[in-house]
């Protein structure tokens, strides 16, 4: 199975260089939010069938919100959402557009092989 993570600041249309694992899995869960300077993020997990790091077809997408205080290295990760209608509401139009373009350009064959249900997630209208 192939998977890839793209992490966005909540309102940004271009993902960060770092992945969710790099920013959040080395952090401690926040026990109390007082005094924290929390920033909001959207984490997008893409899955597909493939070998050697290249997908042959995209099969699933999961999205979750997260908040992190990058100075204190504490944060909150919400559960992954995998239903199309939830994902469409969580992503901004610019994020959907970026993801669609990135998927089409980076892995064109996998994009073509993905079902209409997968493509529909990234429509901005």
The predicted model scores a pTM of 0.88
Listed in sequence order, the residues at least 6 apart from 84 whose beta carbon sits closer than 8 Å to its beta carbon are 117, 120, 121
* CB of 84 closer than 8 Å to CB of 60: no
How many C-beta atoms lie closer than 10 Å to residue 102's C-beta?
Answer: 17
Q: What is the spatial distance between Cα 13 and Cα 94, in angstroms, rounded to a whole number?
A: 5
Specify whether the backbone of 105 is left (phi greater than 0), alpha (psi in -120 to 50) or beta: alpha
Residue 122: the pLDDT is 95
Residue 61 contacts residue 82 (beta carbons within 8 Å): yes
pLDDT tens column, 7-49: 999 999 999 999 988 887 766 666 666 778 888 999 999 999 9
pLDDT tens digits for 52-110?
Answer: 789 999 999 999 998 888 777 777 888 888 899 899 999 999 999 999 999 999 999 99
What are the sequence ranges of the domains in the chain? 2-117
Cβ pair 78, 66 in contact under 8 A: yes
End-to-end Cα, the chain, rounded Å: 31
Rg from Cα positions in the chain = 15
């Amino acid at each position: 199975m192939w998977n890839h993570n793209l992490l966005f600041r909540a309102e940004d249309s271009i993902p960060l260089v770092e992945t969710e694992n790099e920013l959040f899995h080395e952090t401690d869960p926040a026990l109390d939010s007082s005094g924290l300077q929390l920033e909001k993020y959207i984490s997008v997990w893409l899955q597909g069938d493939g070998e050697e790091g290249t997908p042959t077809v995209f099969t699933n997408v999961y999205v979750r919100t997260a908040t992190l205080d990058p100075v204190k290295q504490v944060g909150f990760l919400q559960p992954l959402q995998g239903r199309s209608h939830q994902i469409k509401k969580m992503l901004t139009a610019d994020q959907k557009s970026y993801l669609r373009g990135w998927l089409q350009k980076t892995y064109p064959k996998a994009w073509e092989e993905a079902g209409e249900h997968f493509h529909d997630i990234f429509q901005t209208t």
